[in-house]
Structure 1
């Protein structure tokens, strides 16, 4: 079996790595700043490496599940990055699978430059929640050539319920940004709608009695309102900082494509304002409280 490398043992990555290991693949992992995930993986048979270069030198397929574009670039092209390790070991068959939500322009640029070293980069950003990462039921939204996808498919299948091939390298990250734009757009709309409603005497409970079960209901709506109505912070664990990052990437992509994207900019700016006031580590449904507080309201 190919040796799998993994970098990015956060909320999503830890579950993915565990499912790869459970399927019997040799796993080498780079520690997250929180050591609990790496210690748990080591107890189950994974090996810890000291730096990303070791992943490039010792692994056949390396998965990245890091915060965003700067972290992807650093872990690949840093002094002790994956490329440096692969070069030192003269690895010509390495595949890097970027599961992060990154910038498509960077993805395509890295893929082109890595190819000169015999390294293949594909993008496979995630659809789903940390709970689905734990249970192996995520979606992988893949940008890759057919042949490369078939090579990595058996490993992807250890942690997915659905693999969606959306096009060549970079297409996965593009589609992921579009998906997250829809989700974060709904989050912004829900937050403002609740505040407007509260000002007009409509409680969150009344709001929910109309929307739940209607055509506007959705999985995103239900986890968002699980927080709004039940104060369950764990219902939707996606930070406002990540929401700002993703909407910023989408707005930048629109600009690069010469698309006038006023809605995208407005959504981005709302999340940017929440992060700038120190609320970046709060979760997306808590935006409802932030917007309400700006109007001297409490929703619950």
Structure 2
């Protein structure tokens, strides 16, 4: 069987590892760098080719992966100058691995389908480290036949691959997953803030929670390195991105319609942290936002 030619748009923190592993598994790869050009040399030395536009990337590929922040960036890649739509042809497959707004993805899917192009949503879980190791998780929204055809390619950079339903369901599931994660993180930051203000030894709080039913991966990522080292990078996901994902989730809920009081509250916690200047920091800096808002001390310094 002829090896499928892969296009890749968005060689950032996650995209670099994905592209590297696709090359390592023998897939011919053409990339269009997004904003970050600091990590391209190893891809080029491994045989990747660089396209001058998104359209050129599509013309050189059978499958084009998009790995960018969210829907505005995806829309620009598809509809913008020299975008994917201008190079659409029957049989081309576009795989959106971003965390995107389902309504936007539905419009893009329809517009690409009119040109014979299939859009598959395959948002990701885990971190840039697992991307480099080829151990990401992905939740795929696609027709079963299309999923089975794409699965061997996804195995190049994924450890766990879930077919979660028809087109669009990958993005919905990712937003639901991220809403829970962001809500946990915001609750943990608030809990530590109240405990600190009331005079608790936060290490004792950590010890008790760590052996009880409230313990979870988010709690450990948020608090372990923070308490031991004052390190606020244990959960490698940005506050601004978390705010964006919660906004997408609340929009989705409104369209159903479903009332989501917890998600709205978590969203405002992230808005506050962003407004206080922590948007570019990782999610454990929600502790810093609580310190600044409440004039208290959580993080050992």
Deviation at 1:147, TM superposition (A): 1.0
Query: Residue 126 of structure 1 corresponds to which residue in structure 2?
Result: 124
Query: Residue 138 of structure 2 corresponds to which residue in structure 1?
Result: 140
CA contact (8 A) 1:125 1:176 kept: yes
CA contact (8 A) 2:276 2:289 kept: no
Counterpart selection for 1:42 from 44, 49, 56: 44
What secondary structure is seen at the aligned counterpart in 2 of 1:28? Answer: strand
CA contact (8 A) 1:38 1:48 kept: no
CA distance in 1, matches of 2:131, 2:232: 18
Query: Residue 86 of structure 2 corresponds to which residue in structure 1?
Result: 84
What secondary structure is seen at the aligned counterpart in 1 of 2:103? Answer: helix
CA distance in 1, matches of 2:247, 2:81: 28
Query: Residue 297 of structure 1 corresponds to which residue in structure 2?
Result: 296
Q: Which runs of 4+ in 1 moved over 3 A?
A: none
CA contact (8 A) 2:278 2:285 kept: no
Once the two structures are superposed, the pairs formed by residues 201-216 of structure 1 within 5 Å of their partners are: 201-216=199-214
- Give the aligned CA root-mean-square deviation in angstroms: 1.2
CA distance in 1, matches of 2:219, 2:46: 36
CA contact (8 A) 1:195 1:292 kept: yes
CA distance in 1, matches of 2:213, 2:263: 23
Which residues of structure 1 form unaligned runs of 5+? none
- Aligned positions, number: 296
TM-score of the superposed pair, with normalisation by structure 2:
0.95
Query: Residue 14 of structure 1 corresponds to which residue in structure 2?
Result: 16
What secondary structure is seen at the aligned counterpart in 2 of 1:226? Answer: helix
CA distance in 2, matches of 1:277, 1:43: 42
Deviates more, 1:121-130 or 1:203-212: 203-212
Query: Residue 278 of structure 2 corresponds to which residue in structure 1?
Result: 279
Once the two structures are superposed, the pairs formed by residues 31-70 of structure 1 within 5 Å of their partners are: 31-70=33-72
CA distance in 1, matches of 2:271, 2:196: 24
Question: Does 2:187 correspond to 1:194?
Answer: no
Which residues of structure 2 form unaligned runs of 5+? none
TM-score of the superposed pair, with normalisation by structure 1:
0.96
CA contact (8 A) 1:228 1:288 kept: no
**Deviation string, structure 1 residues 35-75 (Cα, Å, up to 9, x no partner):** 12222211221111111111221100011110100101110
Deviation at 1:151, TM superposition (A): 1.4
CA distance in 1, matches of 2:233, 2:292: 21
